[in-house]
Chains A and B, each alone.
Chain A
Amino acid sequence: DSGVTQTPKHLITATGQRVTLRCSPRSGDLSVYWYQQSLDQGLQFLIQYYNGEERAKGNILERFSAQQFPDLHSELNLSSLELGDSALYFCASSAHGTVPTGELFFGEGSRLTVL
């Protein structure tokens, strides 16, 4: 158990809909990262938050947004969903802010299926 909690574990929705994925980092970790894992794209970095502020942005679509709350949990919002958004979405946390010199601890992922 990594200590990172993600909900929901599975989600099935239709194209055009909006979903919210939630992540609670390990106790004490200030950084939260979101990754997308699809069959043809591997693990793609989406966005990082550190202590409530956006720290780094990767290949995140404009239809997607995220935030980190004062209690350090984070939410990833996916809107106007397309079939290609079907993927496993991982949240990871680490104690470090900028350079993740330490390891990332991953949640079990949220599997999103868009029909």
Chain B
Amino acid sequence: AQKVTQAQTEISVVEKEDVTLDCVYETRDTTYYLFWYKQPPSGELVFLIRRNSFDEQNEISGRYSWNFQKSTSSFNFTITASQVVDSAVYFCALSEAGQNFVFGPGTRLSVLP
């Protein structure tokens, strides 16, 4: 069965600090997809990134970067120079062939001014 673990329930940082959100997944499939979503206080879920299991290249998008390591089944998310607007709950998710999305429990990030 597929599973997503986000061990950090809550993280607080001060603005401009870097922060890494951890995501560890379990799957028996060789083909799978990993995602990160952001849920700001307003409540909507915003897609951030998708990675497939064959693409281990790390990705950078502005202040956001993702580190995908199959060897440790991790797909960590780093925010550089955090801002107050980054305050949100961040969800990691996994989908396998023929299965639906499974979301992790989420990490609540608070960025303090």
Chain A residues within 8 Å of B, Cβ to Cβ: 2, 33, 35, 42-43, 45, 48, 56, 58, 88, 90, 92, 98-109, 111
Q: Once the chains bind, are B52 and A101 in contact (CB under 8 Å)?
A: yes
Chain B residues within 8 Å of A, Cβ to Cβ: 33, 35, 37, 42-47, 50, 52, 91, 95-106
Complex: A2 Cα to B42 Cα, angstroms: 14
Could you count the A-B residue pairs with CB atoms below 8 Å apart for me: how many are there?
A: 58
Complex: A104 Cα to B78 Cα, angstroms: 22
Q: Which of B43, B44, B46, B101 contacts A100 (CB 8 A)?
A: B101
CB-CB nearest 5 A-B residue pairs: A106-B45, A43-B103, A103-B47, A42-B105, A108-B44
B71 to chain A, nearest CB (A): 23
Q: Once the chains bind, are A45 and B100 in contact (CB under 8 Å)?
A: yes
Neighbouring A residues of B100 by C-beta, 8 Å: 33, 45, 48, 56, 58, 100
A59 to chain B, nearest CB (A): 11
